[in-house]
Amino acid sequence: MNFIKKILLFFKRESKLFYMNITDLLSSILFFFLSIFVFVFALGADEQLLRTIGLGIIWSLLLLSSTLSLRKFYEEDFDNGVLILIHMSGVSYELIVFLKILSHFIFIQLPFLISIPIASIFFNLPISETYNLILTFIIGSLILSCLISISASMNLLNKTNFSIGSIIVLLFSIPVIIFSVGINNNESDFRSIINLLIGISLIFLGISPWSSAAFIKLALRNK
């Protein structure tokens, strides 16, 4: 009972932080829309062209805008010692990482769902593709949260090279992009690709708590 209370308190704190920093989320959504506009200005307003490449553009821009929140993932909690405080209350680092990933998924990634239908209107995507996009984004953003957790914990003590965290997220998100966009492109099997995506997300949900906790312990030892 006590344990569940701790987890609920963790999510209460996260939601408070979310409401305090809501402009940050809104500005990353704004970044997403503005980059769509930039793409359309750069490519020209050819409807047929935009419809064929729209899905790929939306996915890669979602990826880029979700890496914007990368530095915030652990850094504040690491710098003001909240991570150690939560750990002292009897929660292991692995579980903290897992809860962090869940809260990032709920509070940062899921609000992007509102922007996806609007973005698909801009590109005139058919309704079936929009549906597929939302479905793959729900699974894919969980994978992205795991990747962001790994790369943010890796770069906790990195004070010089800020862009390498985003590079690592982009590098390991290649399979996610391939499968998520490939769900529409050819006559590939819908259910097999969804199963593959769920499999990848389960793998990363298994790997990322251990590796992130190892990186956090390493960083705390050398703080």
Candidate segments 11-19, 57-65, 122-130, 152-160, binder of other proteins by CB under 8 A: 152-160
Which of 42, 45, 127, 174 lies at the binding interface for other proteins (CB under 8 A)? 174
Q: Does 219 bind other proteins (CB under 8 A)?
A: yes
Amino acid residing at 89:
S
Residue 10 vs 215, nearer CB to other proteins: 215
Q: Does 211 bind other proteins (CB under 8 A)?
A: yes
Q: What is the DSSP string of 157-199?
A: S--S-TTHHHHHHHHHTHHHHHHHHHHHHSS--HHHHHHHHHH
Q: What is the DSSP string of 44-55?
A: ---HHHHHHHHH
Residue 96 vs 219, nearer CB to other proteins: 219
Which of 15, 89, 158, 192 lies at the binding interface for other proteins (CB under 8 A)? 158
Q: Does 214 bind other proteins (CB under 8 A)?
A: yes
Tokens, residue 128 = 């079936």
Which of 2, 23, 128, 161 lies at the binding interface for other proteins (CB under 8 A)? 161
Candidate segments 9-17, 23-31, 166-174, 181-189, binder of other proteins by CB under 8 A: 166-174
Amino acid residing at 30:
L
Q: How far is the CB of 178 from other proteins (least distance, A)?
A: 10
Residue 85 vs 171, nearer CB to other proteins: 171
Is there a contact between 124 and 51 (Cβ–Cβ < 8 Å)?
A: yes
Closest Cα partner for 51 from 122, 1, 116, 111?
122
Q: How far is CA 7 from CA 59, 78, 181, 185, 202, in A?
A: 32, 19, 35, 41, 21
Q: Does 50 bind other proteins (CB under 8 A)?
A: no
Question: 92 CB contacts (<8 Å, ≥6 apart)?
Answer: 213
Which of 40, 172, 177, 194 lies at the binding interface for other proteins (CB under 8 A)? 172
Which of 157, 190, 198, 202 lies at the binding interface for other proteins (CB under 8 A)? 157
Binding site for other proteins (CB under 8 A): 150, 154-155, 157-161, 164, 167-168, 171-172, 174, 211, 214-215, 218-219, 221-222
